[in-house]
Amino acid sequence: MTVTVPGSTLGIVGGGQLGRMLAEAAAPLGVEVVVLDPTPDCPAAPVVRDQIVGDFDDPEAFRELASRADVLTFEIELADSELLDEVSDEYDLAVHPSPDTLSLIEDKLVQKRALDDAGVPVPPFRRVDDAEDLRAALDEFGSVMLKARTGGYDGRGNVPVRDESEVEDALDAVGGPAMAEAFVDFARELSVIAVQGDDEVRTFPVGENIHEAEILRETVVPARTTDEVLARADEVARDVLSVLDGRGVFGIELFETQDGDISVNEIAPRPHNSGHWTIEGARTSQFEQHVRAVLGWPLGSTARRSPTVMANVLGTVDESRPATLGHVESVLAAEGASLHWYGKDEARPLRKMGHLTVIGDDGADIDNMLTRARDLRDGLTFE
């Protein structure tokens, strides 16, 4: 294909931090971005050509976005897959990843069944419609993670259940259709950011993810595991892409067991929090790769530039407050550190407000880098 710049206009359903970073990556390529988001002056608004204010299932807002774009994508699974399919046909417009892929992934039970049917390793699971189903899952698997089938993110909609006394409260907390997944005795959680291009697949180096209370706190690259596990994680991620349709970046979360086996936890059909390290740490960021991929352009290198640690900056755990971040000078003055602020107006408990990265030279002690990233992050305050 022939690529010219200025290039196409990319329409994105969703204008949160991912939409903001996609637009930042698109600008140097000569690609303009229009986002659709229900929040006026959303985080992406300052860096995009325009924002259409509308819900993620608003037909008229989708049509307006489609009328102004050359290609559509999405940065949030709440995007209505049926509407994306409709406007794709109505405006003869490509949507990447495909609406079918979004439909498959947005229901965790459907997602798991598709992977299992394709021979991709996943933890044992079963459908849960009521308390009887959940008790049966406990009998079969022992302790389980009860997951909302739709709408869960950042650990929301996930409830651990260890015995029958917790069944009713867990179902109330999930509040709808669910699935139970056997607890995995994992050594660590990993992720692969995989890119499906027009006729090529590329994967970034495997990241190691550190969660607390089901929320990602840090990602470490390279992951602190064996070469054999890294190779297997990459292999499984490529197998996952074979199940999905359409171009773009996919965040593939994995479990590494104590025996070194790999299984798939969840998939995100978009750039992923665990791939934010790529902005400073890789030759081409996950965001630029997504823009290239959905437009059908050649992909960039996924090679790592340096060891990298990413640490999320979360809202305080106690109460909401205005989003004003203090003591930023400590990060700005730190060698090899970079700060990314998402532009949200309110710092809610454990809400992702930004992230920072710390890069090091080849051979740097990754444990020391992780400690340094945490110290810099924990020195930030909301005022």
Q: Which domains does the chain have, with CATH numbers?
A: 9-95 (3.40.50.20), 124-182 (3.30.1490.20), 187-382 (3.30.470.20)
pLDDT band, residue 4 (cuts 50/70/90): confident
Tell me the two tokens of residue 367.
């444990």
Rounded CA-CA distance 213/166 in Å is 17
**Which residue ranges are tagged as binding site?**
108, 147, 181-184, 189, 211, 265-266
> Does residue 253 have a pLDDT over 70?
yes
Half-sphere exposure of 367 (CA within 13 A, CB side): 2
Residues of each annotated binding site for ATP:
108, 147, 181-184, 189, 211, 265-266
Burial 45-69 (b: 16+ CB within 10 A, else e): bebbeebbbbebebeebbbbbbebb
154: pLDDT confidence band, cut at 50, 70 and 90?
low
Q: Please state, in angstroms and rounded to a whole number, the distance separating the CA atoms of residues 154 and 121.
A: 23
% of the chain at pLDDT higher than 90: 91
Q: Classify 143 as helix, strand or coil.
A: coil
Is residue 193 within 8 Å of 220, Cβ to Cβ?
A: no
**The dihedral sign for the CA sequence 233, 269, 217, 173:** negative
Contact 238, 218 (CB under 8 A): no
Mean pLDDT of 263-271: 96
Q: Which pLDDT value is given to residue 158?
A: 87
List, for residues 61-89, the tens digit of each pLDDT value: 999 999 999 999 999 999 999 999 999 99
Q: What is the pLDDT of residue 7?
A: 81
**How many Cα atoms occupy the beta-carbon half-sphere of 87 within 13 Å?**
27
pLDDT for 156 beyond 80: no
Mean predicted lDDT score pLDDT of the chain: 95
Give the span between the Cα atoms of 8 and 21, in whole angstroms.
17
Mean pLDDT of 156-176: 90
Q: Over 90: is that where the pLDDT of 241 sits?
A: yes
Q: How far is CA 284 from CA 196, 279, 361, in A?
A: 14, 7, 18
Half-sphere exposure of 57 (CA within 13 A, CB side): 5
User: Tens digit of pLDDT for each residue in 200-232?
Assistant: 999 999 999 999 988 999 999 999 999 999 999
Q: Are strands 9-13 and 32-37 parallel, antiparallel or unpaired?
A: parallel
User: What average pLDDT does the segment 341-355 reach?
Assistant: 95
